[in-house]
């Protein structure tokens, strides 16, 4: 009878430790990973938008004010 009581106490202590420490740490870790992934996706989207803007500027024809004349040809 005493042996069963000791095992129940040990199991109760382990269960309390799991509920108070391990589960919250696991929850915090998963939440942090989710937020990190969300931030990384936002950063990737911002980079894509910046690249698109740069490509549009590159594709725009430059305004020429006149023909270029080499110095030696003059």
The tens digit of pLDDT for each residue in 6-46 reads 999 999 999 999 899 989 999 999 999 999 999 999 999 99
Instruction: Return the structure tokens found at 27.
Output: 């929850």
pLDDT given at position 57:
79
What pLDDT is attached to residue 60?
67
Q: How far is CA 71 from CA 15, 63, 68, in A?
A: 86, 21, 9
CA distance 74 to 45: 51
pTM over 0.85: no
Query: Given this model, what pLDDT does residue 30 score?
Result: 95
Distance CA 13, CA 21 (A): 12
pLDDT of residue 69: 67
């Amino acid at each position: 009878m005493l042996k069963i009581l000791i095992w129940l106490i040990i199991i109760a202590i382990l269960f309390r430790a799991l509920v108070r420490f391990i589960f919250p740490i696991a929850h915090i870790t998963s939440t942090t990973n989710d937020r990190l992934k969300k931030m990384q996706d936002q950063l990737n989207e911002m980079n894509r938008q910046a690249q698109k803007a740069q490509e549009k500027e590159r594709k725009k024809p430059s305004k020429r004010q006149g023909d270029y004349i080499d110095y030696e040809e003059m």
